[in-house]
Amino acid sequence: MSVDVIDRLQAMAATPGRVWMRGGHPVTYGDLLAETGRMANALAGLGLAKGDRLLVQLDKSEAVLSLYLACLRLGVVFLPVNPGYTIAETAHFLTDAEPALALVEDRRQQAIAERGAKAIGLGAFLDLVAAGQADFADPAHAPEDLAAILYTSGTTGRSKGVCLSRENLASNAEALVELWQFTEHDVLLHVLPVFHTHGLFVATNCVLFAGASMIFQRAFSPDAVLAALPEVTVMMGVPTFYSRLLADARLTPAVCARVRLFISGSAPLSPATHAEWRVRTGHTILERYGMTETNMITSNPYDGDRRAGTVGMPLPGVKVRITGPDGAVLPAGEAGSIEVMGPNVFVGYWRMPEQTAREFRDGWFVTGDLGAIDAEGYLSILGRAKDLVITGGLNVYPAEVEAALDDLPGVAASAVIGVAHPDFGEAVVACLIRSAGAELDEAEVRHTLRDRLAGFKIPKRVLVMAEFPRNAMGKVQKAELRKALAGLFGAN
């Protein structure tokens, strides 16, 4: 069993002066423990008890991390929701999760209350916290107790509530701290959203478990990141952060002089960005793979070859296998369904036992991602099960075609989808964004790909777009692209 998140917090707070958040007015672990105690008392005063859900829909701020820890202290289930969701979208979480309380920005409090939920605005809540006691007698917790429910981003189908236990979070934090060699001397740049597993758990728990500190920024801006980088030892980001920083001339090796590790995840990092980052900064980005349901699954090595286009090997204690359509385990090099087992894998979907059962096979969680493990153990992700294009009866993995397209001069980004086709069933279609100043010609792109890809993999159409539909984590919303292009070949 792993050390519980709160036991870790208590241990770190025992060292006076140990800094949790840097910046103008540093916050120590002692301050953090006191603040989470006041918050836990305030939540208990509002009637929340162990097992109740607290829906938190707040703009990114330091308070959200304290709230997460306060919930863990009280045993209340933390349920963060993207602040970008409309009231109508948020209503789904209110009816599905039945939170005992919704803590929202003041401007939303009335609209949420009108949906029948007990709601409190952040201002009123922080007044209660400020007036309260820091001393809080932590009750005992079990590793299997529910810590949080995170709703899936819904890139495929309806959003489901992912139930995560305390052990899920703690085991993953311990594995990542060990693998990425976090120590108390690290300073992490926190620029990710805090309603998603990446910023909420990966970034925050690595810092907490190592007793390290963070520089907390409320949104990603190249100006702020470049200003902070000289103080930073580790940065975690989504691929879009890295490509946006590359577009800024101020990104130099000197700015990154203290950094020991750049980590990318949540969406595929293009090999071009990986290569360009190395040229520009001297650092090789470490790409890792995970999902809300499983926390982190694999990572490229800390010491050793970090291979572009791969997500590395399973974390300590985590097992990964690739299976074929009949469920048989496939040998190295063969593409199939990625399945995961370990203490990182979630408890189940909230009140969806049948859905949960469908997504497990013999105790292995079926991720819905497609991939292959090479002879040296590196996993490559080839797309989502839903993304797989079957054209004229042949399987095409979008990631393979995207990799070929990304290598072409003038291509800044690519997204490959299947579109209904009267002859082939589905046709491979490529959507491209061009680099600044570049020209892209459809016939020429298709012709050039002939050297790299078998004929059936070459896109039937190549469309140049100004931008792709993306979600908050920078993931391309392929379902949106598929919808927009459904009639491209006159078939539906």
Chain positions contacting ligand AMP, by CB under 6 A: 152-153, 197, 265-268, 287, 289-292, 311, 367, 369, 381, 384, 473
Residue recorded with tokens 């390290």: 212
Q: Which is nearer to ligand AMP, 77 or 476 (CB)?
A: 476
Q: Which is nearer to ligand AMP, 35 or 293 (CB)?
A: 293
Q: Give the CB-side neighbour count of residue 54, counting CA atoms within 13 A.
A: 31
210 within 8 A of 180, measured Cβ to Cβ:
no
In the complex, minimum distance from the CB of residue 189 to ligand AMP, in angstroms, rounded to a whole number: 19
Q: Which is nearer to ligand AMP, 377 or 410 (CB)?
A: 377
Q: Which is nearer to ligand AMP, 134 or 412 (CB)?
A: 412
In the complex, minimum distance from the CB of residue 278 to ligand AMP, in angstroms, rounded to a whole number: 17
SS3 content of the chain, % helix, strand, coil (to 5): 35, 25, 40
Say how far apart CA 283 and CA 261 lie, in whole Å.
8
39 within 8 A of 130, measured Cβ to Cβ:
no
In the complex, minimum distance from the CB of residue 168 to ligand AMP, in angstroms, rounded to a whole number: 14
Tokens of 12: 């770190």
Q: Which is nearer to ligand AMP, 255 or 405 (CB)?
A: 405
Q: Quick one: which of 132, 163, 160, 111 has its CA closest to 66?
A: 132
Residue 181 is given by DSSP the state T
In the complex, minimum distance from the CB of residue 384 to ligand AMP, in angstroms, rounded to a whole number: 6
Say how far apart CA 285 and CA 2 lie, in whole Å.
28
399 within 8 A of 268, measured Cβ to Cβ:
yes
Q: Which is nearer to ligand AMP, 66 or 299 (CB)?
A: 299
Say how far apart CA 29 and CA 92 lie, in whole Å.
36
SS3 440: coil
**Beta-ladder partners of 337:** 323, 370
In the complex, minimum distance from the CB of residue 209 to ligand AMP, in angstroms, rounded to a whole number: 20
In the complex, minimum distance from the CB of residue 227 to ligand AMP, in angstroms, rounded to a whole number: 27
Q: Which is nearer to ligand AMP, 13 or 238 (CB)?
A: 238
In the complex, minimum distance from the CB of residue 156 to ligand AMP, in angstroms, rounded to a whole number: 9
Question: How many residues does the structure list for the chain?
Answer: 492
